């Protein structure tokens, strides 16, 4: 996985870069030092919902000023998408709205992550839901 940077947050599969980056480390240069915090993303082979790719493509076309990061391989309950927009990061778990409600349930790991996460995380079934959520949050956050 190529390191990904957005709003002074870095996502990488290089475990030695994980953690808060001190000003002293920042002065040394390199990928990790350009960020305030570095998150470790382990790639797992993971089944994604059928609408996942369509949602990512639609978001990238509809909102070119946003950063859409596909984190579906992260596992351990971490949401499928990280969307950076207007200086904020939003996490979205993608579910297929055409499936029965029982098939759209969050896994135990996802429930745990959503319960512990202190920032924004939502479950969505379409790009339109994400766009509506970003519009609502933009009015509140901005």
Q: Round to whole Å and give the CA distance between 59 and 38.
A: 25
Residue 67 belongs to a domain: yes
* Percent above pLDDT 70 for the chain: 64
Q: Are 79 and 26 in a shared domain?
A: no
Domain span at residue 61 reads 52-141
Q: Residue 60 pairs with which residues in a beta bridge?
A: none
What was the pLDDT predicted at 78? 92
Residue 46 belongs to a domain: no
> Which are the contacts of 24, defined by CB distance < 8 A and separation ≥ 6?
none
The structure tokens 């391989």 sit at 73
124: tokens are 């969505």
- pLDDT tens digit string along 76-121? 899 999 999 999 999 999 999 888 888 899 999 999 999 999 999 9
Q: Are 30 and 59 in a shared domain?
A: no
For residue 22, the 8-state DSSP code is P
Q: Are 137 and 95 in a shared domain?
A: yes
What was the pLDDT predicted at 46? 61
pLDDT of 68 higher than 50? yes
Q: Are 61 and 26 in a shared domain?
A: no
What was the pLDDT predicted at 45? 46
> Which are the contacts of 28, defined by CB distance < 8 A and separation ≥ 6?
none
- pLDDT tens digit string along 22-36? 444 444 444 444 455
What number is the average pLDDT over the span 40-62? 77
What number is the average pLDDT over the span 51-68? 94
Domain count, the chain: 2
pTM equals 0.68
Q: Round to whole Å and give the CA distance between 86 and 121.
A: 16
> Which are the contacts of 140, defined by CB distance < 8 A and separation ≥ 6?
none
């Amino acid at each position: 996985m190529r390191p990904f940077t957005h709003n002074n947050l870095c996502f990488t599969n290089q475990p030695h870069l994980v953690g808060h980056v001190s000003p002293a480390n920042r002065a040394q240069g390199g990928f990790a030092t350009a960020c305030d915090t570095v998150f470790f993303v382990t790639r797992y082979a993971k089944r994604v919902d059928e609408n996942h790719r369509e949602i990512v493509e639609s978001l990238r076309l509809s909102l070119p000023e946003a950063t859409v990061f596909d984190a579906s391989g992260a596992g351990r309950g971490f949401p499928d998408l990280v969307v950076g927009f207007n200086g904020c990061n939003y996490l979205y778990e993608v579910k297929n709205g055409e499936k029965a409600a029982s098939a759209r349930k969050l896994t135990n790991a996802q429930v745990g992550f959503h319960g512990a996460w202190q920032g924004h995380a939502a479950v969505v079934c379409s790009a339109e839901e994400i766009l509506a959520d970003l519009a609502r949050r933009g009015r509140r956050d901005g």
